[in-house]
Amino acid sequence: MKIRLLSFLIIFLYSCEDSKKPYRTPENAVALISGDSIKSWKIAERYNGKVRMNMGPCFISYRQTFLNDSTFYDNNGETRDCGDSLKGKWQLHTNSKGDPYIKLESPQIPKLLSIQENFKFFKILYLSKDTLKLAFEHQQYGNKRRVITDILVREELEVGDRYYHH
């Protein structure tokens, strides 16, 4: 009986550990993110924790563009009352656990994101030709930290129900 229980526990623990393997980006991740030379992404859905967020005009018009020369920019400044545009450098990064990230670096980041560092890491949850799913930690009102998850799609793709309301 003890051997069966021990075997069960070993299999259970191994399978739990196995399920926490990091997402592996495709080998052509840079090309998927930046296209042949330049690629723009738009937000299809955004989640605050597990709650889908409403997307008003600033989110609907938002585009983030990655170039294969490791630079990026967004179009916030082109849309009224949506804040300044952000531009800088990007690179793929892997943490010590093997989790893939996009690291954005810019002298504008501390002011725009209310952080001290001039960089921000966005965890890559999924990447394909059409979809880029990212998660990042964000400090909200009252110093509460939440994980924001963005599902981005290629700018050219039609996405229904983007102006979502509960």
pLDDT at 144 over 60: yes
Domain spans, the chain: 2-154
In which element (H, E) is residue 151 found?
strand 145-154
pLDDT at 1 over 60: no
Report residue 127 as tokens: 């990447």
The tokens 């996009």 sit on which residue?
102
CATH 2.40.128.280 for domain 2-154, yes or no, is: yes
Give the mean model confidence (pLDDT) for residues 50-60: 87
Q: What is the pLDDT of residue 164?
A: 55
Model-level pTM? 0.83
Q: What is the pLDDT of residue 153?
A: 96
- Report the mean per-residue pLDDT for the chain: 86
**Higher pLDDT, residue 146 or 104:** 104
Beta bridge partners of 88: 72
CA pair distance 44, 144, nearest whole angstrom? 25
**Higher pLDDT, residue 14 or 133:** 133
Q: Give percent of the chain with pLDDT exceeding 90.
A: 63
> Which residues, 6+ apart, have CB-to-CB distance to 56 below 8 Å?
163
Nearest Cα to Cα of residue 92 among 117, 65, 124: 124
Question: Is the dihedral angle over the CA atoms 100, 26, 49, 87 positive or is it negative?
Answer: positive
